Amino acid sequence: MKTVLTESPATAAEFIKKGGIVAFPTETVYGLGANVFDEKAIAKIFEAKRRPNDNPLIAHVADLEQIKLLVREITPAARKFIEAFFPAPLTLVLKKAEKVPLIATANLETIGVRMPKNKLAREFLKACETPLVAPSANLSGKPSPTTWQAVFEDLNGRIDCILQGEMTEIGLESTVVDCTSDVPLVLRSGAISLEDLQKIVPESQIYKIKKDEAVKSPGLKHKHYAPKAKVVLMENGKWKMENGKTKAFIGLNAPEADFDLIKICASVEDYAHSVFDFFRQCDHENIETIYCETIEETGIGLALMDRLKRAAQ
Ligand code: TXA
Ligand code: MG
């Protein structure tokens, strides 16, 4: 399959209308989109990404009207979050409408809904004239793509089109919140922090898996965000280095030891923005071990530490 590269949202939308799959930028990471009501197109997403079929997809909408096509009801908590945040790096899980095919939700009766904030994403969604399901546009298991070049590296020849935008602003995937009950549960942390959510609905909590309970967010059990290099987490100043390996460092404070590749980030936001791109750069330069400075688990720091811990598993 030839993968068309374009900067035109209208050209990219034509592929969706013909039943194709298209990668596009959002403010979090690049997504791989298909028409939410087109089962054949959705099947192509799972194939192109080599995604396990028990991992549900997030539906992306251009406006509030489109949410009604996807869900059975908007719960009071969800309504508050929509009013406070949308468009935003925030996905709300609600009971799905009958019409949404089960392949989109991996057989769950719920669907995650998000309205991206990125301008090109919004133009593209509007031109598609339908909500799109879109997982991150990487091969399963690899770091999520924050540039169109990263999408190209993983999916060239496997998808119809890449809508070329800029490097994504946030760099980590959206916050996913289960809004089906009175207590909103954060299934995946992201740029909209627990503290942000609690200002709107004070009962909001981080979801903790209870023993013997089915996992609420199947995606969380799969291996994620891993570069080829080994990822090691380090508290600032506590370097225990392996000998004779090519090594890289990413963090907020310049390390004292020598590294083959170093990225010092100006802030936690910059660290989040840069980390997946840095992982891919390390792989290109055959780095064997990547040392990542740990940070405080508040605000977006919680989401960043979550991704670093998964990459280090
Ligand atoms: O920022 C993002 O969310 C990006 C961009 C493209 O929007 N998308 C993304 O999709 O990260 P993906 O497929 O890589 O991650 C979706 C996550 C998975 O952990 C999945 O298990 C969870 O959301 N999820 C999706 N639908 C769900 C549902 N109905 N119930 C519980 N978890 C769900
Ligand atoms: Mg993903």
1 CA to middle of ligand 1, Å?
26
* Confidence label for 221 from pLDDT (cuts 50, 70 and 90): low
Evaluate whether 145 touches 276 at the Cβ level (below 8 Å). yes
pLDDT at residue 235, as a whole number: 83
List % helix, strand, coil for the chain (3-state, nearest 5). 30, 20, 50
Reference 49, options 126, 151, 119, 117; nearest CA is: 151
Cα–Cα distances (Å) from 190 to 84, 239, 268, in that order, read 16, 28, 13
Using a 6 Å cutoff on CB, does residue 146 contact ligand 1? no
Using a 6 Å cutoff on CB, does residue 247 contact ligand 1? no
- The pair of three-digit structure tokens given for residue 66, joined into one six-digit string: 């489109």
* Confidence label for 106 from pLDDT (cuts 50, 70 and 90): very high
Using a 6 Å cutoff on CB, does residue 138 contact ligand 1? no
pLDDT at residue 256, as a whole number: 85
Dist CA 127 CA 9 (whole Å): 7
Q: Tens of pLDDT along 40-96?
A: 999 999 999 999 989 999 999 999 999 999 999 999 999 999 999 999 999 999 999
pLDDT at 246 over 90: yes
Higher pLDDT, 289 or 217: 289
Q: Tens of pLDDT along 275-297?
A: 999 999 999 999 999 999 999 99
Using a 6 Å cutoff on CB, does residue 188 contact ligand 1? yes
Give percent of the chain with pLDDT exceeding 70.
Answer: 94
174 CA to middle of ligand 1, Å?
8
DSSP assignment, residue 197? H
**DSSP secondary structure of 1-65:** -PPEEES-HHHHHHHHHTT--EEE--SSS-EEEEETT-HHHHHHHHHHHT--TTSPPEEE-SSHH
Q: Tens of pLDDT along 136-162?
A: 999 999 999 999 999 999 999 999 999
